[in-house]
Amino acid sequence: MPKPKPQAFLPLKTQWFHIMLALAGGEQHGYGIMQEVLNSTTGKVRLWPATLYGSIKRLVEAGLIEESAERPAPELDDARRRYYRLTALGKRVLDAECERLQALVHAIRVKQALVTE
């Protein structure tokens, strides 16, 4: 079976992008992802539980993230939590999406410079 190409997933859904970006910093549990997205977007993006866990399910099915078997020390953890991390494919997809968005920002800046001349 051929490996999927990162470009096949682009453009990423907004919530997928934010979840994957949160996981780029390391493994997180669902509530940690929710808080990371809220903080990193200064409250502009809020992932409600149904959206978050539905997206996580689809990201796992797509092979972009996976559940981690590693756990923090029991005294620092809640046994009910599930931890997630990016897969190698997920890292490549996130990199490709970041490049796509950077190119878009560059195109916008070029257009803005032309308008202000």
Q: Which amino acid is at 109?
A: R
The 10s digit of each residue's pLDDT in 56-72 is 999 999 999 999 987 66
CB 83 within 8 A of CB 68: yes
How many angstroms separate the CA atoms of 24 and 90, rounded?
9
- Which CATH entry fits the domain spanning 10-116: 1.10.10.10, 2.20.25.90, 3.30.230.70, 3.40.50.11030? 1.10.10.10
Read off the tokens for 44.
């502009």
Helical packing angle, 49-61 and 14-24, nearest 10° = 80
Query: What pTM did the predictor assign?
Result: 0.88
Residue 69, pLDDT score: 81
State the pLDDT confidence band at 2, using cuts at 50, 70 and 90.
confident
